Amino acid sequence: MEFLDPELEKYIEQHTEEEIPLLQKINRETHTQVLKPRMLSGHLQGRVLSIISHMIQPKNILEIGTYTGYSALCMAEGMQSDGKLITIDKNEELTERVEGYFKESDFAHNIEFKKGNALEVIPTLKLEWDMVFIDADKSNYLNYYKLCIDQVRKGAYILIDNVLWSGKVLEKNRKKLDKDTEAILEFNQFVSEDHRVQNVLFPIRDGLMILRKK
């Protein structure tokens, strides 16, 4: 589901900071060479991630769901110079491509790409997070959140993508309640009632939830 008129969306992107050449390359190659390019954060959401990261100036960032590395590089733009970004993905087919993009960037020494199941990897990480971005399999959103929340410092932020799920969070926009939609609904309800965080849901792209740990 497209939430914005295509012409309005084009106008928004025209009046948003441009992507740097490397991000343009990732955007283009993802759409021409990789399956399911809609999973890419893309221009507008990428700039949102970048500007939020610049506001937070995180020391440690955790990303769950790397895909082709676009969102990681956007968040790295606002990270402290000696900061660390750990990104986790289990899709080994994209490993060579993603590592290549990271090596091309200015943040090669700041980014650690871990390949594996995030549910198993996260408990092994002994860092306190200033910023977390969840954009992986929807059925485990709540599990990822529960694993991360105690590792997130007070005042830090968790961002979650796809929380409107193509509008299927509304009953009128779905034919049946599938597993992923049910997981998104459960997650949205849980965090809205979690008194440990302040939350706001932005209608950016496919829905971006931003949480601040109190």
CATH number for the domain spanning 65: value is 3.40.50.150
For residue 84, is pLDDT > 90? yes
Two structure tokens written together for 68: 């082709």
Q: Phi-psi region for residue 180, left (φ > 0), alpha (ψ -120 to 50) or beta?
A: alpha
Looking only at the bridges linking them, the beta strands covering 129-134 and 152-161 are: parallel
pLDDT in tens, 49-58: 999 999 999 9
Task: Specify the pLDDT at position 3.
Answer: 77
Percentage of the residues of the chain whose pLDDT score is greater than 90? 94
**What span, in angstroms and rounded, lies between the C-alpha atoms of 15 and 58?**
26
Question: What average pLDDT does the chain have?
Answer: 96
In our burial notation (b when 16+ CB lie closer than 10 A, e otherwise), range 7-35 reads eeeeeeeeeeeebbebbeebbeebeeebe
**What span, in angstroms and rounded, lies between the C-alpha atoms of 41 and 206?**
10
Which one, of 128, 120, 2, lies nearest residue 64 by Cα?
120
pLDDT in tens, 103-136: 999 999 999 999 999 999 999 999 999 999 999 9
Task: Specify the pLDDT at position 4.
Answer: 82
For residue 99, is pLDDT > 70? yes
Residue 25 lies in a domain: yes
Sign of CA dihedral 161, 198, 142, 60: positive
Residue 70 lies in a domain: yes
Which one, of 157, 150, 154, lies nearest residue 202 by Cα?
157
Residue 1 lies in a domain: no
pLDDT in tens, 7-51: 999 999 999 999 999 999 999 999 999 999 999 999 999 999 999
How many structural domains comprise the chain?
1
Two structure tokens written together for 4: 């914005």
For residue 206, the enclosing domain spans 6-213
Residues 6+ apart with CB under 8 A from 143: 119
Two structure tokens written together for 169: 């969070």
pTM of the entire predicted model: 0.96
The residue whose two tokens read 């993009």 is 101
List, edge to edge, every strand of the sheet that includes 111-115. 111-115, 84-89, 60-64, 129-134, 152-161, 208-213, 197-202
Residue 1 pLDDT class (50, 70, 90 cuts): low
